Amino acid sequence: MKPIIRILAGATAALLLAGCAPSEPAMTESERFAAYTRQQFCDDVGENAINLNYTLSRPEEWGLERLTEEPFGELSLDFASVREDLKQSRRELNGFDRDALTEAQQLTWDILDFSLTTQEQAAGKELYDDLLGPVTGQHTNVLITLAEFSFYEKKDLDVYMALLEDLPRYFTFVEDYERARAEAGMIAAADTLNEAADYCEMIADAPEDCLLITGFAERLAELGWLNEADRQTYESRNRELVCGPVADAYRSLGECARELAARGGEPQGLATRLDDGDDYFQLLLRAMVGSDRSVAEYQELLVSEISTALAEMSALYQQDPAGYEAFTSTVPKQGSLPAEEIIAQLREASKDDFPALAELPYTVKDVPAALEDYTSPAFFMIPPIDSQDKNTIYINNAMLDPTTLFTTLAHEGYPGHLYQTVYTQLLDLDPLNDELGASGYSEGWATYVEYEYAYSYMDESETYRRLARLNSLLSLEISALVDMQVNWAGWSEEQLAEWMNAMGFNGDAAGELMAHVCAEPANYMTYVGGYLEFMELRRTAEAALGSAFDEMTFHTWLLEQGPAPFPILADRLDAWLESETSLEQAA
């Protein structure tokens, strides 16, 4: 889970790229690029206090200071200046001789190029995002983000208090942005806005029940370096700010959402409500999945995957009708275990398939009951790159049960997000790579390990494991296909219901699914698109290596590349396979 969303990633400030002063030795191209990427990383993570806290536990080692003045950073709807900065960033990147860089730096250059190209294509579409969506909305994400804000030293507590004081300014920016969207004819559906308003009103009406208060005293008690007098002072100040400016900010944002909801209509996909909505959806796939594959290509892949899954389910019914009938009434034994025990089992079971990683501390927390209707089934809070001991997994008990808990913890923990995130952080890669990465890489990896491995780790019959995997994967893939059909092809709710009924699914669920994909376009594709890309990489490796293909070797290579757009990974895989094939032939 990323701490904060940027509407259009700001370009870096102008950098000194000409080298050192004349009296000093000239910098090599590699040294110049290293200075450039370090500065860009610092600019990106230092632009607001939340990004900084979630990325670095010791910012002073990077020459950065904790922010207490306007800690939410610069907030502006002046998109023209951002576009000018973007042009400057392009000139700076193109000013490097890529061939003169190290192999690792060439990877970073390629990732920067992909990211800049995506932002260049997004120019003029800055108002197309929705900051009040049910999954990625700032009204929900900010609360969890602040609740997990890390206190490494006393100054962090001061920054946190400053963030609470600054929240009204940030939410005013969100209001201004959403009103600008409405004036441009891009208003969200009424139901989406009313849901956001309900959430904001819930916080504003009962701030003392808010997560920022209910869990704060316990968090302070864990700080051994904080004396009792300061603890009481900060606890009192936190309550004062949450019940004051924070509650007021939520009240105002709720009123704005309710006002806009009166002007909103029924859910409509991007292709229906925007003249260039289909093109924007394609751009979203590039930005969120990290792929330049066309929507039509993804549709073809998904139709093939869905057909194969349905055929496999039919074959299982023929092979084991009793096991098929027992599937719906079976409760997996491991699903009733404590989360920590499940994660320990997953860590042990995955050792033969994935490279070793030292055991890491982590915490599993329940999503507060009041927030269960507004958050995902589970999510992982990414630790700072310089401190891998703060790993938190949130579980939404209202959306999970014993049939889904085991595989969900594989997705969030081992060998999913927790494992992949920390493994990558411990590599000697440019931290900018991860900062620029699309969520399709991380969500694709977690989805890949969930469906290709986690179900096989379950202590159940083969028929149950296969059916459970197929049933869950089909649901996700069908949702992703609907995401494309509604937002890219322009399907209406009636067309969706008709298609679902024809496929043997419940067409009565079309309205709910339609509302979700309209409110969060490309969200399902972040998971499914990333999963499909990892599967395509694997199939390429299997085809090239044949019997010499080894899962552990492939996964090790894949993880050591770190987060990168899939076209870049595909090119690097081709080079790796060529070298592996040459070595095998020589042997």
Taking only the tens place, the pLDDT of each residue in 335-352 is 999 999 999 999 999 999
d(CA 244, CA 231): 20
CA proximity to 358, closest of 438, 283, 422, 401: 422
Of the candidates 465, 457, 467, the one whose C-alpha atom is nearest the C-alpha of residue 416 is: 457
Instruction: pLDDT band for 534, please (50, 70, 90 cuts).
Output: very high
SS3 94: helix
Read off the pLDDT band of 8 (50, 70, 90): very low
User: Which pLDDT does position 12 carry in this prediction?
Assistant: 29
Handedness of CA 326, 329, 333, 335 (dihedral sign): positive
Distance CA 92, CA 161 (A): 37
Instruction: State residue 371's pLDDT score.
Output: 81
pLDDT in tens, 147-182: 999 999 999 999 999 999 999 999 999 999 999 999
Indicate the average pLDDT of the chain: 93
Rg from Cα positions in the chain: 24
Confidence of residue 587 (pLDDT cuts 50, 70, 90): low
**Burial of residue 542, with CB atoms counted within 10 A of its CB: 0-12 exposed, 13-18 middle, 19 or more buried:** middle
Position 586 scores a pLDDT of 57
* Rounded-to-integer distance, Cα 195 and Cα 201, Å: 10
- Which has the closest alpha carbon to 113: 94, 99, 100? 94
What mean pLDDT is predicted for residues 4-17?
A: 33
CB 282 within 8 Å of CB 295? yes
User: Quick one: average pLDDT of 367-371?
Assistant: 84
Segment 494-523 mean pLDDT? 94
Give the mean model confidence (pLDDT) for residues 363-381: 89
Predicted local confidence at residue 141, as pLDDT: 93
Residue 48 has pLDDT above 60, yes or no: yes
Q: What is the pLDDT of residue 47?
A: 95
| Domain-wise residue ranges, the chain | 1-126, 133-265, 269-330+462-549
> How confident is the model at residue 26, as a pLDDT?
80
- Taking only the tens place, the pLDDT of each residue in 295-311 is 999 999 999 999 999 99
Question: What span, in angstroms and rounded, lies between the C-alpha atoms of 340 and 355?
Answer: 21
Average pLDDT over residues 268-274: 95
- Largest pairwise CA distance in the chain: 82
User: How much of the chain exceeds pLDDT 70, in percent?
Assistant: 95
pLDDT at 34 over 60: yes
CA dihedral of residues 107, 111, 116, 119 (deg, nearest 10): 170
* Residues 79-109: tens digit of each pLDDT: 999 999 999 999 999 999 999 999 999 999 9
- Residue 20 clears pLDDT 70, i.e. is over it: no
The burial class, CB within 10 Å (0-12 / 13-18 / 19+), for 369 is exposed
Q: What is the pLDDT of residue 583?
A: 60
Q: Which pair of structure tokens corresponds to residue 493?
A: 């709710």
**347 in helix, strand or coil?**
helix
Residue 29 CB neighbour total at 10 angstroms: 16
Polymer length in residues for the chain: 587
Separation in Å, CA 24 to CA 19, 20, 97, 470 = 9, 6, 21, 63
pLDDT for 11: 30
Residue 331: which pLDDT band, with cuts at 50, 70 and 90? very high
DSSP type of residue 12: P
Q: Which residue is it, tokens 């400016």?
A: 245
Count Cβ atoms within 10 A of the Cβ of residue 539 and give its class: 0-12 exposed, 13-18 middle, 19 or more buried.
Answer: exposed
What CA–CA distance (Å, rounded) separates 32 from 26? 9
